[in-house]
Amino acid sequence: MPLDQPHGSIPLTQDDPEELKSWIKSQALALGFSDCVIAKPDAQDQMPRFKEYLKRGYHADMHYLAENLDKRADPTLLVPGTKSIICVRMNYLVESPKPRYVPDQPNSAIIARYARGRDYHKVMRGRLKTLAGIIKARVGEFESRPFADSAPIFEKSLAESAGMGWTGKHTLLIHKKSGSFFVLAELFTSLELPFDQPATAHCGSCTACIDICPTQAIVEPYMLDARKCIAYLTIEYKGIIAEELRAGIGNRIFGCDDCQLICPWNSFAKIASIPDFNPRHGLDNISLLEIWTWDEATFLANTEGSPIRRTGFQSFKRNIAIGLGNAPYSDDVIEALKMAREQHDEIVQIHIDWAIEQQLKKQYQIH
């Protein structure tokens, strides 16, 4: 007998796993996910390269990456009873960027596009819970657990193993028809679903992402040194940023999109299908000087429910100070920096002093 069909019209039986898989994918797309694939809970093949990455110290002070290696390799150790992993992605662009072009806006505060709206972790997990509920209404009880960058999981490799794209030389996942401006999440399940097959890689001889990186953090194809990566430095790292990296950071105050913007495959990048990624508080077009005026209360108010909270107020000010130091010479910039002296912790103060010094150097060059 066919099961009840409250969420679709495909007739299903519990003995028809291919049709069940197809139906689950249709439900995922209806919830706003851009794609859905079914992965085998196995990432053993990632371990040799990942151990080499750790051995080289490319994970910087993200020590958690060196933990739970057994769970990363075998997802069934993370969630016992897992038989299949439903991998989804969600596009986050709100407008298509000009193909193969990194804009030059030295007075703007540049925030990575994924972080200008609502925190995608919450968006993705919430919708995966909804998806689990829809499936349960159809097939009965099963074990499930949603993740969105929140556990020791090789997210990209699982999605890649099931055909969601291939890992580009910048280490991000690329989809042939959708580029790379998307975020990933997973629903671990006890369902026995047929696994999807991997896609082929299509980077070829292109090195655009390696060549464009402002701090040369992509040290070789498919290998990223986080110690140089602007995304790591401006989001995860809380210390004093090395002087030799500050000029490369430019005016990027939270994350960096350069390696994606230059990628030819992002000529096919798709627009977000849900409003959660729409920029809030003008974060897609805000000047360094304007955002520099935010006090901690304003920062907390304007980043509620935002990924930007992750960096913390002091590191946020540190990043903006670097941006102001790299900005074209301006009396207003120097004045704003001087007024902020002694208002922040020692780490921020070091970057403020550096920024003033950079501005004064430009002043002397002008005159």
Binding site residue list for cob(II)alamin: 72, 149, 167, 173, 184, 256-257
Q: Which residue has the tokens 């550096």?
A: 354
Residue 211 is a catalytic residue:
no
- Extract the tokens encoding 229: 């990566």
Rounded to whole angstroms, the Cα distance separating 69 from 75 reads: 10
Contact 340, 352 (CB under 8 A): yes
d(CA 206, CA 267): 15
Q: How far apart are CA 317 and CA 288, in angstroms?
A: 10
CA 40 from centroid of its chain's CA atoms: 23
What is the chain's Cα-based Rg? 22
| CB-CB contact of 90 with 33 (8 Å) | yes
Q: Any bridge partners for residue 184, and if so which?
A: 89
C-alpha–C-alpha distance, residues 134 and 138, integer Å: 7
Query: Token pair for residue 119?
Result: 């925190």
Binding residues for tRNA are 238
The string of DSSP codes covering 102-162 is ----TTB-EE-GGGSSS-HHHHHHHHHHHHHHHHHHHH----EEEESS-SS--HHHHHHHT
Give the alpha-carbon dihedral of 235, 93, 163, 80, to 10 degrees. 50
The string of DSSP letters for 215-261 reads: T--EEETTEE-TTT-HHIIIII--SPPPHHHHHHHTTEEE---HHHH
DSSP letter for 367, please: -
**Cα–Cα distance, 330 to 204 (Å, whole number):** 44
Name the pairing type of β-strands 182-189 and 84-91.
antiparallel
Answer for the pair 3, 13: CB distance below 8 angstroms, yes or no: yes
Torsion of Cα atoms, 282 then 301 then 304 then 108, to 10°? 30
| Catalytic choice (42, 61, 74, 149) | 149
Report the catalytic residues: 149
